[in-house]
Structure 1
Amino acid sequence: MLQFLGKDPDSPSGGSPTLWQDQDTGDLIVQGYTLTDPVAVSEVGDIPSGEAVVRIPLRMLRFLPLKAEQ
């Protein structure tokens, strides 16, 4: 089950980026803007099939849980 953590209040469309936390695993789920800047993509390198690199604004950090469990 996912717990909603927050949505970017400054999003022009009101729907993204968004953060959730998986209540079973503690994993963070991120909906964001696909990284498309060619320079940044080249710095990231190869992105495996089934994975994506997303960009979220720094201001979204306030929605992240303060304590990360190991």
Structure 2
Amino acid sequence: MALRFIAKDPNTNGTQCPTAWVDDEAEEIVIQGWKAGEALLAQCRETGPIPETEAVVRLPIRMVPVLREACDVADRLSVH
């Protein structure tokens, strides 16, 4: 796996914070975020079940530029 670090949440102390990467080989965006609590999970399940192989994570809105950068990097990897 060629995991390319994009950035961490700019408003945290640099450890244990939301982070974004791009996996060049799998062509995936990889996100570390805060675990969703039961209330948020219940709301998400209103749309449909959440498989055991998936998770709901929360990211602060201030990470939008980080996600855009990850999307831009991923977009350059994909074939159009």
Normalised by the shorter chain, which TM-score bucket? 0.7 to 0.9
Aligned length, in residue pairs: 69
- Partner in structure 2 of residue 41 of structure 1: 41
Amino acid at match of 1:55: R
- Runs of 5+ unmatched residues, structure 1: none
What do you get for the CA RMSD once the two structures are aligned? 2.0
Greater relative contact order structure (CA < 8 Å, 6+ sep): 2
Q: TM-score, normalised by structure 1?
A: 0.79
- In structure 2, distance between residues paired with 1:60 and 1:26: 21
Which secondary structure does the structure 1 equivalent of 2:65 belong to? helix
Larger Rg: 1 or 2? 2
Give, in angstroms, the shift of residue 8 of structure 1: 0.5
8 A contact 1:19–1:30 mirrored in 2: yes
**Bigger share in helix:** 2
Q: TM-score, normalised by structure 2?
A: 0.71
Give, in angstroms, the shift of residue 4 of structure 1: 0.2
- Structural mapping, 1:10-25, within 5 Å: 10-12=11-13, 14-25=15-26
Which secondary structure does the structure 2 equivalent of 1:10 belong to? coil
- In structure 2, distance between residues paired with 1:26 and 1:62: 20
